[in-house]
């Protein structure tokens, strides 16, 4: 068994690790996208709500309604800040997972490169051995002819 052949199971294991890291990265990206969409929905809802308020007659609004509106907007702003924080957290997790995937992919590529180098060295040794055997055979034939 050659050194290159011995690396095949290691390459397969590294490939599985790379695939697993990619799956986790895809999941992290999906979560990040969902969280960004939810943040955008909250921002859009806030803007739509304010737009509806602006269309009404602010002079006829009761003090109670104004207090309720202010309270509701404060709660909505708080929810938006929480969602922004969550999006930032998900973004950082996605970046970390991307780094893990890159590390796994680079490890796999390094092992594959090593295998190729070992294979090239083995091929070169094989060619040298075949050439040496061919030279010995030719030398023996020449020696027999000249006896």
Q: Which residue has the higher pLDDT, 10 or 59?
A: 10
Other beta carbons within 10 Å of 18: 20
Tens digit of each residue's pLDDT (9 = 90 or more) over 29-83: 999 999 999 999 999 999 988 887 777 665 566 777 778 888 989 999 999 999 9
Average pLDDT, rounded, for the chain: 91
With bands split at pLDDT 50, 70 and 90, how would you rate the model's confidence at 1?
confident
Choose among 75, 91, 4, 8: nearest CA to 42.
75
Integer Cα distance of 93 and 89 in angstroms: 6
Integer Cα distance of 32 and 90 in angstroms: 5
pLDDT of residue 118: 93
CB 97 within 8 Å of CB 21: yes
Q: What is the CATH number of domain 3-112?
A: 1.10.287.1700
With bands split at pLDDT 50, 70 and 90, how would you rate the model's confidence at 101?
very high
* 63-102 CB burial, b ≥16 within 10 A, e <16: eeeeeeeeeeeeebeeeeeebeebbeebeeebeebbebbe
Q: Which residue has the higher pLDDT, 13 or 4?
A: 13
CB 17 within 8 Å of CB 104: yes
pLDDT of residue 44: 96
Integer Cα distance of 92 and 61 in angstroms: 44
Integer Cα distance of 112 and 114 in angstroms: 5
Spans of all domains in the chain: 3-112
Those residues whose C-beta lies under 8 Å from the C-beta of residue 76, and which sit 6 or more positions away, are 42, 45, 46, 49
């Amino acid at each position: 068994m050659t050194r290159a052949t011995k690396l095949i199971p290691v390459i397969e294991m590294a490939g599985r690790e790379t695939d697993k890291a990619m799956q986790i990265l895809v999941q992290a990206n999906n979560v990040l996208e969902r969280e960004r969409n939810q943040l955008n929905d909250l921002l859009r809802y806030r803007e739509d709500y304010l737009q509806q308020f602006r269309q009404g007659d602010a002079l006829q609004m009761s003090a109670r309604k104004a207090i309720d509106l202010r309270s509701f907007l404060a709660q909505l702003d708080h929810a938006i800040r929480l969602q922004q924080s969550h999006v930032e957290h998900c973004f950082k997790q996605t970046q970390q997972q991307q780094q893990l995937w890159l590390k796994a992919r680079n490890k796999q590529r390094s092992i594959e490169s090593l295998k190729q180098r070992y294979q090239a060295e083995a091929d070169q040794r094989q060619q040298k051995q075949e050439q040496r055997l061919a030279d010995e055979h030719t030398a023996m034939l020449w020696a027999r002819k000249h006896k």
